[in-house]
Amino acid sequence: MKSLLQFFGSLGGRSNRQADLRGQLAAISKAQAVIEFRLDGTILHANENFLNSVGYRLEELQNQHHSMLVEPSERESQQYRQFWQKLRRGEYDEGLYKRIGKHGNEIWIQATYNPIMDARGRPFKVVKYARDVTHEQRQSADFAGQIAAISKAQAVIEFDLGGHILFANHNFLAATGYTLQEIVGKHHRIFVEERQRTSEAYKRFWQQLGAGQYDSGLYRRVGKGGRELWLQASYSPILGQDQQPFKIVKYASDLTLQIQASQTLQSAVSGLSQALKESALNAQHASALVQSTASIAHKGGEVMNDVVKKMSAINDSARKIADIIGVIDGITFQTNLLALNAAVEAARAGEQGRGFAVVAGEVRNLAHRSAISAREIKTLIDDSVREINQGSGFVTNAGGTMQEMVSSMQSITGIMDTITRASHDQNAGIEQVNDAIKQLDHSRTGKRPAA
């Protein structure tokens, strides 16, 4: 620093000029890190700011080469040799440089390398003015890394404040089906439905973004060829140093498949719910029909029971008639015997018993005919009793079948009631699932197709 002051002092002859130069250099030294080198790169001097940045003491740096502050891979590079050749020629250099501190720590400095000329215009040393931007650089790298990570995971597109496309990453292009050349300079409206492009809501949307207002939600968009897109996205105004927005960045996730699957599921659930409702209604109708049939069968069973009772009564009456016929047949037999005896007695009586014999013969003939009729009636009665017994058996079997039918109908009625209740329960469950899908879809997305 002393030699530098002497150099500037030799240029002027006046003390006030020297004082001015000395004051400017002191101010620079207070504000910045300063280090001086010979033209071969060996260190002459470094101020306190520089020493604090690199972690060395002055005596550890003096007469050491500048290369101790750079990475080993850089020291032997052609670019590093050309860097010092350029400075020795008196050419200025500036930029962002990566340097290595005493403990191997990474340091980033924004610096200028300034060759200092002698009175004949030839360089005799190099002064470096620097500012430690390690923190800013790490912060910038962190921001850049985060943005890169976001860009890998999400679809990203940038717009000017008027809505014209500046850039889009690979994910966004893949989602929409466009190439970058096809959309750069175009307005955002190419991604919205035609009826929305001139709507007041769409105009307000871009007015609010241009005013720096953030917007997010699920947006229905149109890709290349008119295919439907659903994007979960945020529109973020980017502010400049003056805190005024200068562009809009949109970060988005393509939820098209999920939304379409949700819509398909919702449609399927609605269809299933409707089918269950119809099934429950049919089950109710079937249950009512079965109950009606069971009632009819029950009444039929009661009628059959009455028929069985009446057939039994008829059977008893027929048996009684058969018994009476048997009595009549016995009486006829006795009458026939009496008539026969009377004829014998009339024959013994001779002429006096002839009239009585005629009457006795007629009685015997009548008794004979009565016996024949009685036997015929008995035969008919026996046939009727047999047929009544057979019919009674059929009626009894039919009555049992009707009872079994009534029991089966009652069982079917119980099953149909169970099916009806199960259908109602299933329908209630399906409606709950449908409501849950709608609520999930609404809460997850907050759909904003107009934007």
Q: Each residue of 328-387: pLDDT tens digit?
A: 777 777 777 776 777 677 677 767 666 666 766 776 677 677 777 767 777 777 777 677
pLDDT at 4: 46
pLDDT at 451: 46
56-65, 231-240, 381-390: least confidently modelled range: 381-390
DSSP string, 382-440: HHHHHHHHHHHHHHHHHHHHHHHHHHHHHHHHHHHHHHHHHHHHHHHHHHHHHHHHHHH
Strands 228-239 and 215-222: what pairing? antiparallel
Instruction: Give helix 354-445 / helix 256-349 axis angle, nearest 10°.
Output: 170
For residues 252 and 150, give the distance between their C-alpha atoms in angstroms, rounded to a whole number.
10
Task: Tell me what percent of the residues of the chain surpass a pLDDT of 90.
Answer: 43
Q: Which amino acid, 181?
A: Q
Which pairs with CB-CB distance under 8 Å and at least 24 residues apart come from 367-375? 367/332, 367/333, 367/335, 367/336, 367/339, 368/332, 368/336, 370/328, 370/332, 370/335, 371/329, 371/332, 371/333, 371/336, 374/325, 374/328, 374/329, 374/332, 375/329
Q: Is residue 28 a contact partner of residue 50, using CB atoms and an 8 Å limit?
A: no
Q: Per the confidence metrics, is the pTM higher than 0.95?
A: no
Q: What is the mean pLDDT of residues 396-423?
A: 71
Provide the pLDDT confidence category of residue 402 given band limits of 50, 70 and 90. low
Instruction: Give helix 2-11 / helix 15-31 axis angle, nearest 10°.
Output: 140
CA angle 419, 425, 430 (to 5 degrees): 120
Q: Is residue 38 a contact partner of residue 44, using CB atoms and an 8 Å limit?
A: yes
**Regarding predicted confidence, which is higher, 302 or 164?**
164
Provide the pLDDT confidence category of residue 7 given band limits of 50, 70 and 90. very low
Write out the H or E segment, with its range, that includes residue 203: helix 200-210
Q: Each residue of 12-43: pLDDT tens digit?
A: 555 666 676 677 777 777 879 999 999 999 99
> Is residue 197 helix, strand or coil?
helix
Domains of the chain: 32-139 (3.30.450.20), 154-254 (3.30.450.20), 261-445 (1.10.287.950)
Place of tokens 């040393």: 125
Strands 245-254 and 155-159: what pairing? antiparallel
Q: Is residue 97 a contact partner of residue 104, using CB atoms and an 8 Å limit?
A: no
63-67, 261-265, 352-356: least confidently modelled range: 352-356
Q: Each residue of 186-221: pLDDT tens digit?
A: 999 999 999 999 999 999 999 999 999 999 999 999
What average pLDDT does the chain have?
81
CA angle 176, 179, 183 (to 5 degrees): 80
**Regarding predicted confidence, which is higher, 149 or 326?**
149
Q: Each residue of 89-102: pLDDT tens digit?
A: 999 999 999 999 99
